[in-house]
Amino acid sequence: MKPTRKYYLFLLLALAFYFTTSKLIFDKVHDTTQIVIDELFHIPQGIAYCQRNFSHWDPKITTLPGLYLVTAATVGTYFECDTYSLRFVNLVASCVNLMIFSSILKFIYGSNSESQFKIVLQAFNLALLPPLYFFSHVYYTDTLSLTFLLAFSRLCFTSKHKFFILVFGMCSVLMRQTNVVYVAMVLGHKMLDIMIKSSRVFGNKYLTKSNLSTNSVIAKDVDASKLKRYYSINDVFLALGYHITTCFGTFFKFLTAQDWLIIITHSVTLVSFLVFVFKNGSLVVGDKTAHEASLHLPQMLYFLIFYGVFALPYVIAKIPSTLRLMMRNKTKIVLYSILFALIIHFNTIAHPYLLADNRHYTFYVWNRWYGKYEFAKYLMILPYTFLLFSLYDNLKDQNCVAFLLPYTISLFLVLSLQKMIEIRYFLVPYIILRLRFVRPSNNIVAFEFLWYLVINAVTFYLFFSKEIMWKDFDYAQRIIW
C-alpha cells in the first residue's frame, strides 16, 4: 500500500476510535453535571447568541465572542440550543484538531521518510494532551481557539492561501485575544529569518560589489554554508549590525512579492488588534479587574514544570545528554540559579482566585507545597534549572534563534504579564514546542500515549468521583485542571 493511502487509513481509524471513545466520556460528563465552573457564564452567553440575541453580553466574560459566534452559526442553525449541543461544538473541534495535528506532522516529517502510523499516533497523543482533552468535553474557549490557531499555522507553512491565512488569523484572535501574540510570533520568525539570510548573502565581503540576485546559484550557496536551523544569537547581532549600517536597504531588496504579501497579511491582523485595544481601553472585555496586567516572571518557571510533566517521555529519553550538557555549562547553572532565586524572592505572586478556588489542581499544588512551606519555592530551583536544559536539549538540533527568540518573547508576553496561574494558558506554548521536538523514537511515542492515558484516566476519575459543596451553589462542584 502506498504511504499516502496508509496515512489516510490510519488517520481515519484513529479519528473513529478517538470520537467513539470521547463521545462516551462526553456523555458521562454531561450526565454528571450541567455546569463546570466558568460554564456558568459561557453557557448562557452561548445560548443567547445561539438564539440570535447578539445584544446580550455577560460582563464576567473577558474573551472576545468567537466561540459564541461559531455556536450561533452551527448549533443555532441546525440544532437545539442547550448545554449538550454547545459542548458538542468543542468535541467536534477536538476531532478537527487531531486532523490538523496530523497534517502538520506529515508536512514536517514528509510523506515517505517517516512511519505513517507514528505520525498519526503523535497527532493522537497531542489531541489527548490531558488539559486540552478535558476541555474538549465542556464549553470553554480553549479547544476551538486552538482549532483556528492550528489552521492558521498550517496555512503559513506553504503561504499559498493568503486570504485564508488572514481569515484564520483574525478568527483565532476572535477566539482568544492572546492568540495575537502567536500571529506576531510567526511574523517575527519570518522577518528574523529574512534578516539573517539577507545579511549573509549581501553582507559577504567578497560579494558586496557583485550584482547579486537572491535566486542566483551563488546566493543560495552562500546561505547554504550554514543551515538556517543553526543560526545563533551571534548571527542576529551580526545581521542587525550589517543592516543598520546599510539602512536596511538590502533587507528590503531580499524580500520577494510573496514575502510582502505575507507581511501585509499578518500586519492587518496585528494592526486590527491594536485598534481594538485602543478603542476598548484594554486587552480584555468584560471584567477587567480580574485580569489586570502585572509582571509575574515565575510563570515562566511554572511553564517548565508543565513541560516536565507532559513531556516526561522526552525528558527521560534525554537525561544522559541533558546531564552532559549541564556539566559543560556549570557557570550558566550557577547564573541561572541566582536569577531564578531573585525572580522567586521578589516576584512570586498568589492571585486571590488561586488561594480560594478549590476546584482547580493549582489550588492544591499551591496550598500544599508552594504556599505551605517557605523553602518549597526555592527548593524548586534545581528542577527548574534541569528542565530548562532539558527543554533546550530537545530543541537545539531542530530549531535556531530565528524561531527561539520570537517564541521566547511570545512566551513572556502570554504568561508573565498576568497574575493568574492557569494551566490552560500553558497549552498553546507547549504544543508549539512539542511540534518542534526532534523526531521521537517509536518507544517515546508509545510512552507518551500511555502516559497521557493514565493522566486522563486519573483526571476524569477525580472529576466524576469527588464532589465539593459551595454554599453559593445548590449543586456539587467538580475538580478540574
pLDDT-based confidence at residue 151 (cuts at 50, 70, 90): very high
3-class DSSP state of 258: helix
The three cell numbers of residue 120 are 498519526
Q: What are phi and psi of 135, to 5 degrees?
A: -75, -5
Q: 434 near 311, Cβ under 8 Å?
A: yes
112, burial (CB in 10 Å: exposed 0-12, middle 13-18, buried 19+) = exposed
Name the DSSP letter for residue 478: -
DSSP of 390-404, one letter per residue?
HHHHHHTTT--HHHH
- Residue ranges per structural domain of the chain: 1-176, 178-282, 292-440
Residues 6+ apart with CB under 8 A from 181: 410, 413, 414
Q: Which residues pair with 293 in a beta bridge?
A: 418
272, burial (CB in 10 Å: exposed 0-12, middle 13-18, buried 19+) = middle
- 450 CB-side CA count, 13 A: 7
Single-letter residue type at 150: L
| Backbone angle region of 438, left / alpha / beta, with phi > 0 → left and psi within -120 to 50 → alpha | beta
Can you tell me the distance from the alpha carbon of 9 to that of 317, in angstroms, rounded to the nearest whole number? 30
pLDDT-based confidence at residue 302 (cuts at 50, 70, 90): very high
- 440 CB-side CA count, 13 A: 28
CA distance readout (Å), 293 to 20, 283, 299, 351 = 41, 9, 13, 12
The three cell numbers of residue 155 are 496555512
DSSP of 289-339, one letter per residue?
GGG-B---THHHHHHHHHHHHHTHHHHHHTHHHHHHHHHTTHHHHHHHHHH
Q: 126 near 76, Cβ under 8 Å?
A: no
Q: What are phi and psi of 51, to 5 degrees?
A: -95, 15
- Identify the pLDDT of residue 313: 98
- Identify the pLDDT of residue 253: 81
What mean pLDDT comes out for the span 343-366? 93
pTM, two decimals, is 0.92
Can you tell me the distance from the alpha carbon of 229 to that of 398, in angstroms, rounded to the nearest whole number? 6
Q: Which of 50-54, 160-164, 280-284, 287-291 has the highest mean pLDDT?
A: 50-54
| Backbone angle region of 475, left / alpha / beta, with phi > 0 → left and psi within -120 to 50 → alpha | beta
CA dihedral 364, 128, 402, 188 (to 10 degrees): -80
- Identify the pLDDT of residue 422: 93
pLDDT tens for 9-28 read 999 999 999 999 999 999 99
For residue 101, give the nearest of 146, 64, 142 by alpha carbon.
146
pLDDT above 70 for 216:
no
For residue 318, give the nearest of 442, 449, 455, 440 by alpha carbon.
440
- Identify the pLDDT of residue 289: 66
3-class DSSP state of 468: strand
- Identify the pLDDT of residue 247: 85
Can you tell me the distance from the alpha carbon of 273 to that of 287, in angstroms, rounded to the nearest whole number? 19
* First-to-last C-alpha distance (Å) of the chain: 42
CA distance readout (Å), 445 to 126, 309, 349, 409, 442 = 11, 15, 36, 29, 5
Name the DSSP letter for residue 271: H
Enclosing H/E stretch for 211 = none
Name the DSSP letter for residue 480: B
Percent of the chain predicted with pLDDT > 90: 72
pLDDT tens for 70-129 read 999 999 888 999 999 999 999 999 999 999 999 999 998 876 667 899 999 999 999 999
More confident call, 323 vs 280: 323
- Identify the pLDDT of residue 268: 96
Residue-level length of the chain? 481
